[in-house]
Structure 1
Amino acid sequence: MLNGWVEPRLNRRESFIYAIAELASKSLVIAELEVRKLRHDPYDLLIRGVQPALWLLIFGQVFTRTRAIPTGNLSYLDFMTPGILAQSVLFVAILTGGMTLIWERDLGIVHKLLASPIPRAAMVLGKALACGIRSLSQIVIIYGLALLLGVNLNLHPLALLQVVVIVLLGAGCFCVFSLIIGCLVKNRERFTGIGQLLTMPLFFASNAIYPISLMPKWLQIISHINPLTYQVDALRGTMLVNGSSLYGFGLDCTILLLTLISLTIICGRLYPRVAM
Structure 2
Amino acid sequence: MPGADAMQQQLQQNTLFASSPARQSSNAELWRGTWVIFTKHMHKFLRNGQEVGGTLAAPILLAATFGLGMEKVVATDAIAGLNYLSFIAPGIIAFTALSGAINAGMPLLEEKIKGVMKEYMVAPIPRLSILLAATASGLVKTFVQSLLIVVVTVLFGARLQMSPGSALGATLVLTAFVVTMVGFANAMALRSRSIGGYHTILFLLNLPLLFFSSALYPLGAMPAWMRVVAVINPTTYAVEGMRAWLFGGNALHPLLCLAVLIVAAVLSLWFSARTFQRVME
TM-score higher than 0.5: yes
Map 1:39-188; keep pairs closer than 5 Å. 39-41=46-48, 44-68=51-75, 70-94=78-102, 96-116=103-123, 118-154=125-161, 156-188=163-195
Count of equivalent residues: 258
Paired residue for 1:191?
198
Paired residue for 1:269?
274
Kindly state the Cα deviation for residue 229 of structure 1 after the two structures are TM-superposed: 1.0
Change (3 A) 1:195 1:208: same
Report the AA paired with residue 107 of structure 2.
T
Kindly state the Cα deviation for residue 206 of structure 1 after the two structures are TM-superposed: 0.8
Q: Deviations over 1:163-190 (max 9, x none)?
A: 3333222221111111111122221111
Task: In structure 1, list runs of 5 or more residues that go unmatched.
Answer: 1-14
Instruction: State whether residues 133 and 168 of structure 1, in contact with CA within 8 Å, keep that contact through their aligned partners in structure 2.
Output: no
Q: Deviations over 1:105-142 (max 9, x none)?
A: 12221112233454444322331122111111112321
Report the AA paired with residue 267 of structure 2.
S
Instruction: State whether residues 88 and 216 of structure 2, in contact with CA within 8 Å, keep that contact through their aligned partners in structure 1.
Output: yes
Report the AA paired with residue 80 of structure 2.
G
Paired residue for 1:220?
227
Report the AA paired with residue 214 of structure 1.
A
Instruction: State whether residues 244 and 250 of structure 2, in contact with CA within 8 Å, keep that contact through their aligned partners in structure 1.
Output: yes
Change (3 A) 1:108 1:207: same
Change (3 A) 1:224 1:23: farther
Q: Distance in 1 between matches of 2:49 and 2:173?
A: 23
Q: Distance in 1 between matches of 2:266 and 2:29?
A: 13
Change (3 A) 1:180 1:152: same
Kindly state the Cα deviation for residue 273 of structure 1 after the two structures are TM-superposed: 5.0
Q: Deviations over 1:196-254 (max 9, x none)?
A: 111101100111011122222232222122111111111101222xx134333332222
Change (3 A) 1:23 1:226: farther
Paired residue for 1:259?
264
Paired residue for 1:5?
none
Kindly state the Cα deviation for residue 271 of structure 1 after the two structures are TM-superposed: 1.2
Which structure's residues are more often helix, by fraction? 2
Paired residue for 1:3?
none
Kindly state the Cα deviation for residue 29 of structure 1 after the two structures are TM-superposed: 4.6
Instruction: State whether residues 29 and 126 of structure 2, in contact with CA within 8 Å, keep that contact through their aligned partners in structure 1.
Output: yes
Kindly state the Cα deviation for residue 20 of structure 1 after the two structures are TM-superposed: 8.3
Paired residue for 1:249?
254
Q: What percentage of residue pairs aligned between the two structures are identical?
A: 24
Change (3 A) 1:237 1:162: same
Across the aligned residues of Structure 1 and Structure 2, the Cα RMSD in angstroms comes to 2.7
Q: Deviations over 1:253-276 (max 9, x none)?
A: 222222111111121121145568
Q: Secondary structure at the match of 2:105?
A: helix
Q: Distance in 2 between matches of 1:170 and 1:254?
A: 11
Paired residue for 1:7?
none
Instruction: State whether residues 132 and 167 of structure 1, in contact with CA within 8 Å, keep that contact through their aligned partners in structure 2.
Output: no
Report the AA paired with residue 103 of structure 1.
E
